[in-house]
Amino acid sequence: MLIWALYDVSDDKQRNHVAKVLLNAGLERVQYSVFVGDLDPNRFDELVIAAERIVEEQDSVYFFPQCRPDFDRMRIVGAGFDAKRVASELLTDFF
């Protein structure tokens, strides 16, 4: 399933650690703090558990599963605009 991951992590080291975990799980980075990919439900659960081990209480990582109709309705304003195009290119199997 299509998963968007966005984080707000203040500590540099922890942020890099989270980024590495997201990339290792197979997500692609489409903006500095935004990742997207196609994960099966088990892999998604594992990724969430891995993130829970790293992220401190004051920080956060959002994981948004997204169905095709919601992808089509999604809007990105500004630099992030490319993220939607990139996602549709990356996730050819999904689309």
Residue 69 or 92: the one with the smaller Cβ distance to a copy of itself is 69
> Does the footprint of a copy of itself cover residue 13 (CB under 8 A)?
no
Smallest distance from the beta carbon of 93 to a copy of itself, in angstroms?
A: 19
Smallest distance from the beta carbon of 12 to a copy of itself, in angstroms?
A: 16
Site string for a copy of itself, 51-90 (x = CB under 8 A): xx--xxxxxxxxxxxxx-xx--xxxxxxxxx-x-------
Residue with tokens 């993220």: 83
Smallest distance from the beta carbon of 63 to a copy of itself, in angstroms?
A: 4
CA distance 60 to 54: 10
CA distance 67 to 91: 12
CA distance 11 to 41: 29
User: What is the four-CA torsion angle of 79, 48, 65, 56, rounded to 10 degrees?
Assistant: -50
- Candidates 11, 5, 3, 4; CA nearest to 59 is 11
Instruction: Provide the binding-site residues for a copy of itself, judged by CB under 8 A.
Output: 1, 4, 6, 8-9, 31-34, 44, 48, 51-52, 55-67, 69-70, 73-81, 83
